[in-house]
Structure 1
């Protein structure tokens, strides 16, 4: 049976794959994580990080996300960043730019 953490990690990995695909297709120039440290007791640490992509107008960053492992924190940050990118695509001023991104991702209008 899948736990909530497994589900988040899988969706985060999917988000990481999608963000990496966007970089490979030239939609963004880079994709990376910023480490915000580890907190909590040794037996139950919390890891914190944010994700960011470099676009034509500078960096787009996620908020700081956490996880019980560094990989889970990165997955959560990637998923949140992808959500933010999709939210921005709904803004009228960005719709034309995002239309081009979607066309590049799926190969059709």
Structure 2
């Protein structure tokens, strides 16, 4: 499994931002290999984070290559101040069910094993 995390300070959003953001999110959700998404705002720092989960890099690259995504990146300065993107490979996950990714495909490297309990 892979994640793409977009971390940023936001500026003012307008109607165009919301329309583009909704279009990108809707189109991402139907890409084969899309596993889920989360978003967070840290009220203390003002940082916002959006995390998308993917079963392969090929699926993630479909989002990156999407025309609406490229167009939004080209207009980023209107809505987004400083930002960082983190692409990561997830080696394992563990914990309780009910947080959204328990229906991921078998090859998504989601496990119930606590890595700290494994012998080193």
Q: Would you say same fold, with TM above 0.5?
A: no
Give TM-score scaled by structure 1 length.
0.32
Greater share of helix residues, 1 or 2? 1
Q: Which has the higher contact order (CA 8 A, sep 6+)?
A: 2
Give TM-score scaled by structure 2 length.
0.30
State which structure, 1 or 2, has the greater radius of gyration over its C-alpha atoms.
Answer: 2
